[in-house]
Chains A and B, each alone.
Chain A
């Protein structure tokens, strides 16, 4: 089965909400990375806002639904990127 990985970037602390929304749409788990975001214009005194990047591995069939569920669950625009997966192991018991 073809699989994809969604990378969802949200402000720090909102990752849990993303996981809840993704699970509601059929996802079976997620991994969260605490990251810092680069601002569009670098400044001499730079503050980098912290972001949570949520990685969700899912099948192609569920990907669209999960993406829509996450976008609908937040008032602000959410950045969701999708990466195609070549091979995987450890996910088949989820299908």
Chain B
């Protein structure tokens, strides 16, 4: 293909990232729904949800199969997307999944102050459980585990075989207040300040639906 054949993008530019976690098998339905509502792009990947239950955790069945969907939308269709998610995917009811909006860099009105934040923690494969245990100690529960690849040093070729480091990505939504303490604890307990130990990043969330809350459970 020649460079001249690059297609020109005419649709409205995406300024919101809509991230959704749903039961495995519903990812395609969700992607089709969001595309129908006007999302410019949507991708889905397999993930594992962690149920915040100590008993299930002790029995070793605290993991549930989930799908994580990333959809890129324009802020004008955000409202209709959330209405469709509530009506068709029942995300307004607890236990059907969660969805939340993260503004992108080209968003014209950056959020002033938000109550929630999303966290990405990337560690070597096998250390995800350590991170989840640490977050549990801090009272942060309900993370989503995703298998990933890569790192600071990329594919190495040994004996003619490409070797790619495997990673685990922990994706979690939490109130903004305990996050500085969480980052500090990750640094202290898992030595994130040292190279190749892992990274943790947080993003502002402007809107969310279907989040699990301890208060709701207690009612």
Instruction: Mark A residues whose CB is within 8 Å of B.
Output: 3-5, 7, 9, 15-16, 19-20, 23, 28-40, 42, 46, 48, 51, 53-55, 57, 75-77, 79, 81-94
Bound state CA distance, A31 and B122, in angstroms? 8
**Separation of A16 and B155 alpha carbons in the complex (Å):** 8
User: Closest chain B residue to A29 by CB distance?
Assistant: B152
Within 8 A of A (CB), among B138-153: 146-153
Provide the residues of chain B in CB contact with A91, threshold 8 Å. 199, 201
Q: Which residues of B lie under 8 Å from residue A94 when comparing CB positions?
A: 152
- Shortest Cβ gap from A25 to chain B (Å): 14
A42 touching B32 by the CB < 8 A rule? yes
Q: B202 within 8 Å of A by Cβ?
A: yes
Q: Is B193 an interface residue (CB 8 A)?
A: yes
Interfacial residues of chain B within 12-29, with CB under 8 A of chain A in the complex: 14, 17, 27-28
Q: Closest B-chain residue to A79, C-beta based? A: B41
Report B-chain residues with C-beta under 8 Å of the C-beta of A23.
154
A35 touches B155 (CB 8 A): no
Q: What is the CB-to-nearest-CB distance from B29 to chain A, in angstroms, rounded to a whole number? A: 9
Q: Does B34 contact A (CB under 8 A)?
A: yes
- Report whether A38 and B34 are in contact in the complex, using a CB–CB cutoff of 8 Å: yes
Give the complex CA separation of A92 and B193 in angstroms. 7
Q: Which 7 A-B pairs have the closest CB atoms?
A: A38-B31, A90-B199, A29-B152, A90-B192, A82-B105, A35-B43, A38-B42
Among B43, B152, B200, contact of A28 (Cβ-Cβ < 8 Å): B152
Tell me whether A33 and B169 are in contact in the complex, defined as CB-CB below 8 angstroms, given that A28-B152, A88-B202 are known contacts.
yes
Contacts of A34 in B (CB 8 A): 45, 147, 149
CB pair B70 A53 closer than 8 Å: yes
Do the beta carbons of B1 and A76 come within 8 Å of each other? yes
How many interface contacts (CB-CB < 8 Å) are there between A and B?
154
Of A4, A35, A89, which one neighbours B187 at CB under 8 angstroms? Answer: A89
Within 8 A of A (CB), among B24-69: 27-28, 31-32, 34-36, 41-45
Q: Do A51 and B43 touch across chains, with their CB atoms under 8 A apart?
A: yes
| Shortest distance between the CB of A63 and any CB in chain B (Å) | 8
- CB pair B199 A84 closer than 8 Å: no
Inside 8 A of A93's CB, which chain B residues have their CB? Answer: 193-195
List residues of B (178-219) whose CB comes within 8 Å of A's CBs.
179-180, 183-184, 186-187, 192-195, 197-204
What's the minimum C-beta distance from A47 to chain B, rounded to whole angstroms? 11
Closest to B204 in A: A86
Cross-interface CB contact of A90 among B106, B150, B167, B193, cutoff 8 Å: B193
**A32-B148, A37-B43, A46-B28 are known contacts; what are 5 more A-B pairs with Cβ within 8 Å?**
A19-B150, A75-B1, A75-B3, A81-B14, A83-B105
**Residue B160 at the A interface, CB < 8 A?**
no
The distance in angstroms between the C-alpha atoms of A32 and B34, with both chains bound, is: 23
A55 to B34, CA, bound (A): 22
